[in-house]
Structure 1
């Protein structure tokens, strides 16, 4: 049996309650996303809070991070992980559907490791399906929301499968 947590140098991410565990794509997204001079960062579909924590570690000391998660249990685990971290004061976990989320302030950086399966065979676990299949958040909905929330000179970073790259580029261009 694997560990119920993933240990980094400066923090630990517990993932025993989440449908999706810490994985390579999330770790790479947290390492590759450029945070430069970002003051406001949004992590869409934070899951365990992994990417939010990694970005907090790498960003300006006063940068605010909003970690958005639709799944109640995952949001609670993300809150616990953030509370145990050195950046607990800078990370706000919000349990909400991204399609309904609104903010009066724009974000300098938006990042997402979204559900990636499109029209694929689903497993019996409802929570795992929601985390893996884009039925609850399509690329069109994600990119339309990002377009509304991203600052004029902001940056959006996403992990997507290679087979949808052209589709996502087309949607992004339209937004």
Structure 2
């Protein structure tokens, strides 16, 4: 359903994944305020790209495989005030990375992605939603490889995953030249265990197996026991949600 933010509007009709709290948290948390060249992998309707455009002066390139979502993304970009800093590429990230690297263009100083994370199991009856949520078209190893190839030496990448997917992602990450530098555990309420994690990846130092600083860990509780947002959550989303 359409969703209006303070500085832009998202129409996600026909897209596999609608606007979600997860995506808003990722877009608001990602350390990209100083970025100049941002890549949004699996952009969907363009939410993360538009948040990046609002938060920085970067040129943002969005990649989207699904035709319906790519068209919605383009339409949302055209309706925004940052249209001159936004671009949509329709296709797979694997194809895009091969073409982009062969053209020897500038690497990205920040990459942002709300990736598919389910492997196997029962899929949604909605084919578009199933494609957006499952790793059939983009598994973790392929995603990490693409990020590694297109991320500048001093760049960073921000992602969000549910708790049940972190073990598989970290197993794939261990075989790469990337490492976690920052992570925020997210719980719905203080009485509940974290169920989502946003985190930042950087290139490892050539001489070590770790990034140049130990992983910084934060925690975000989304709601108070009465169901209202916590002050920390409000501080994160206040530049975007109309009612805050």
TM-score, normalised relative to structure 2? 0.67
Deviation digits for residues 75-130 of structure 1 (CA, Å, limit 9, x no counterpart): 00000001000110100011010111122321000010011211120123222211
Aligned partners of 2:56 and 2:72: how far apart in 1? 22
Where in structure 1 do 4 or more consecutive aligned residues deviate above 6 Å? none
Within 5 Å, which residues of 2 pair with 1:76-115?
76-102=71-97, 103=100, 104=104, 105-115=106-116
Deviation digits for residues 128-160 of structure 1 (CA, Å, limit 9, x no counterpart): 211111111000100011000000011011111
Q: Does the CA contact (< 8 Å) of 2:117 and 2:161 recur in 1?
A: yes
Secondary structure at the counterpart of residue 169 of structure 2: helix
- CA shift for structure 1 position 168: 1.6
Secondary structure at the counterpart of residue 128 of structure 2: helix
The answer to whether residue 95 in structure 2 is matched with residue 67 in structure 1 is: no
Q: Does the CA contact (< 8 Å) of 1:40 and 1:109 recur in 2?
A: yes
For structure 2, the residue ranges without an aligned partner over 5 or more in a row are 177-244
Matching residue of 1:129 = 130
Aligned partners of 2:162 and 2:88: how far apart in 1? 26
Aligned length: 170
Name which one, 1 or 2, has greater alpha-carbon Rg: 2
Secondary structure at the counterpart of residue 99 of structure 1: helix
Secondary structure at the counterpart of residue 110 of structure 1: strand
Greater strand percent: which structure?
A: 2
Q: Does the CA contact (< 8 Å) of 1:75 and 1:95 recur in 2?
A: yes
Secondary structure at the counterpart of residue 19 of structure 1: coil
Aligned partners of 2:157 and 2:174: how far apart in 1? 13
TM-score, normalised relative to structure 1? 0.93
Q: Does the CA contact (< 8 Å) of 1:107 and 1:154 recur in 2?
A: yes
Aligned partners of 1:174 and 1:36: how far apart in 2? 29
Q: Does the CA contact (< 8 Å) of 2:117 and 2:165 recur in 1?
A: no
The answer to whether residue 56 in structure 2 is matched with residue 55 in structure 1 is: no
Q: Does the CA contact (< 8 Å) of 2:118 and 2:135 recur in 1?
A: yes
Aligned partners of 2:30 and 2:175: how far apart in 1? 23
Work out which structure has the larger RCO, using CA pairs closer than 8 Å and 6 or more positions apart in sequence. Answer: 1
Q: Does the CA contact (< 8 Å) of 1:120 and 1:133 recur in 2?
A: no
Secondary structure at the counterpart of residue 81 of structure 1: helix
For structure 1, the residue ranges without an aligned partner over 5 or more in a row are none
The answer to whether residue 39 in structure 2 is matched with residue 38 in structure 1 is: no
